[in-house]
């Protein structure tokens, strides 16, 4: 069974910036790399609730599930915690409340706003491509690791 994961692009359209987090030394994978707020779905949890929960747990930002829009889907053949593959549903929101904080400092070195056109090169793939495709109006199912 594949692992189900949600990620969120929080896009501040006024200043054209997005929320990214830098994975810390204690992260399970991609230590030091930049990523979207992302996390695993709990059993019986709708994927939109996963996105809202993980965003709040990692960044302190609160989003209504109704304010999420589908931006991108990633289907990976193999993941750090997913030997049978994973499916990541990437959402975007332009509406949130709360102040941005590093709510999980044991997992993340930092959480911050980054110019949407300046996503760090040392980002977890497909973070950069998901943001770029969203900004250009494109939607895609990205297959990674499949032969």
pLDDT of residue 67: 97
- CA dist., res. 101 & res. 49, Å (int): 20
Between 70 and 85, name the one with better pLDDT: 70
Q: Is 140 helix (H, G, I), strand (E, B) or coil?
A: coil
Q: What percent of the chain has pLDDT over 90?
A: 71
Q: How confident is the model at residue 82 (pLDDT cuts 50, 70, 90)?
A: low
Q: What share of the chain is helix, strand, coil (3-state, %, to 5)?
A: 15, 35, 45
Which of 74, 92, 43, 68 has the alpha carbon at shortest distance from 143? Answer: 74
- CA dist., res. 124 & res. 74, Å (int): 13
pTM > 0.85: yes or no = yes
CATH number reported for the structural domain that contains residue 87 in this entry:
3.90.79.10
* pLDDT tens, position by position, 101-141: 999 999 999 999 999 999 999 999 889 888 998 999 887 78
Residue-number span of the structural domain to which 87 is assigned: 3-144
């Amino acid at each position: 069974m594949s692992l189900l994961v949600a990620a969120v692009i929080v896009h501040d359209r006024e200043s054209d910036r997005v929320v990214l987090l830098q994975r810390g030394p204690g992260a399970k994978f991609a230590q030091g790399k930049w990523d979207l707020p992302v996390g695993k779905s709990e059993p019986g949890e709708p994927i939109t609730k996963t996105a809202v929960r993980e965003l709040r747990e990692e960044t302190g930002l609160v989003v209504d599930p109704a304010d999420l829009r589908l931006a991108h889907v990633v289907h990976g053949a193999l993941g750090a915690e997913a030997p049978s593959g994973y499916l990541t549903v990437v959402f975007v929101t332009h509406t949130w409340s709360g102040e941005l904080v590093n709510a999980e400092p044991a997992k993340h070195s930092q959480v911050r706003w980054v110019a949407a056109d300046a996503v760090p090169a040392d980002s977890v793939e497909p973070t950069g491509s998901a943001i770029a495709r969203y900004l250009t109006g494109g939607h895609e199912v990205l297959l990674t690791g499949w032969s």
